[in-house]
Amino acid sequence: MKRCLLLICFLFVSKAVFSQDWPARPVKFIVSQAPGTSPDITARYLADRLSKLWNQPVVVENRPGGQNVPGSQAAARAAPDGYGFFYATTAAIVANPYTFKSLPYDPQRDFVPVAMIAKSPMVVAVNPSVPAKSLAELVALDKAEPGRLAAANEGARTFSGMMGQMLNQTAGMRLLQVPYSGVAPAIQDTIASRTQVVLVSSAALLPFLKRGELRPLAVSAGKRVRGLEDVPTLAETYPGFEYVGWFALLAPTATPAAIVQKANRDMDKVLTEPEVAQRLFDLGLVNEGAGTPESLAEFLRAERERWGKLVKDIGLQPE
């Protein structure tokens, strides 16, 4: 009995010391998006804040392309020692399993949740020349001339592409879905009137909305978004229509729980700093703190169900 108690005490003390000593060397964040994208910008900003808190460099490694697959695979194969994390996106964790027949990584099996970073609602916006000041007017305009209005997105199998298909189905519209190779050309073509509607993230659209180059009609979040308070949610017209992009910090499975908890607490400390909160707001992101690993796990479970239903509803077949 005494030996068992000593062993338990030893393990407890060892974990505590392990957590206190961590990090003892540079930490890496793998980002499955290209430099200059919203995930990359926020990852680098938060990495800099954490490096000051930890007194260790936090390095961002970009592994872009392939619908987030190469980056996700690299993160899943990282050593579970607390020195490699995945700065994950919606597509990598909950959308890809439904759009690919097979993946070289398993989002549920290969990662453990660490911290929620921020959410990025989608925005339905139009060129100012479009005579629609609300979503209802856009629907009416489309139904009056079906197929005349073109909506720019980032591709049929991307977040914005699937959202565009879902919006058509839900609202009974026939917006011509025009896929682009990225968010920037989709926005620029809508500003130039080559397309009339665009559906991409608030983080990408915010500068153009502020300059009046595009007019927002609706956001995809469940509640109105700070900074866009006058823009109704899609759920106000179509209850249950709530889809947002997000960034979350994950770790390879088997990463010590003590490190996961410390990384969570420290990320929350950074996210709730007024200067950081303002910066994320300026980037068009919704930041409500890191939550807990348990609350993130529940969020991811709900997201898998939500995206599974969306893919089924629009009839998208995995490839």
Nearest to 66 by CA among 101, 103, 94: 103
What six digits make up the tokens of 17?
A: 């010391």
Rounded to two decimals, what is the model's pTM? 0.87
* Pairwise CA distance, residues 257 & 276, whole Å: 26
**What domains sit in the chain, N to C, each tagged with a CATH number?**
26-119+244-314 (3.40.190.150), 121-237 (3.40.190.10)
Q: How far is CA 37 from CA 42, 164, 260, in A?
A: 9, 21, 26
Question: What pLDDT was estimated at residue 10?
Answer: 44
Backbone angles phi and psi of 161, in degrees to 5: -65, -45
Question: What pLDDT was estimated at residue 19?
Answer: 54
Neighbour-count burial for 271-308, b at 16+ CB within 10 Å, e otherwise: beeeebbebbbebbbbbebbbbbeebeebbeebbeebe
* Pairwise CA distance, residues 286 & 120, whole Å: 6
User: Running DSSP on this structure, what letter comes out for residue 146?
Assistant: T
What six digits make up the tokens of 212?
A: 């009046």
The rounded average pLDDT for each run of 10 residues, N- to C-terminus, in the chain (319 residues) is 46 50 97 92 97 98 94 98 97 92 96 97 96 96 94 88 93 95 92 96 91 97 90 94 94 98 98 96 92 98 93 89
* Pairwise CA distance, residues 194 & 136, whole Å: 22
User: Running DSSP on this structure, what letter comes out for residue 225?
Assistant: P
Per the CB < 8 A criterion, the answer to whether 183 and 200 are in contact is: yes
Question: What pLDDT was estimated at residue 216?
Answer: 97
Question: What pLDDT was estimated at residue 226?
Answer: 86
Question: What pLDDT was estimated at residue 14?
Answer: 43
Per the CB < 8 A criterion, the answer to whether 84 and 28 are in contact is: yes
* Pairwise CA distance, residues 302 & 187, whole Å: 30
Nearest to 124 by CA among 138, 104, 145, 106: 138
Q: Where are the alpha helices (DSSP H) in 28-116?
A: 38-54, 69-76, 90, 96-99
- Which residue has tokens 């998208």? 316
- Which residue has tokens 């109105």? 224
Say if residue 97 is preceded by a cis peptide, omega within 30 of 0: no
In angstroms, the first-to-last Cα distance of the chain is: 57
Per the CB < 8 A criterion, the answer to whether 159 and 99 are in contact is: no
Rounded to 5°, the CA angle 176-182-187 comes to 65
Nearest to 264 by CA among 57, 58, 82, 114: 114
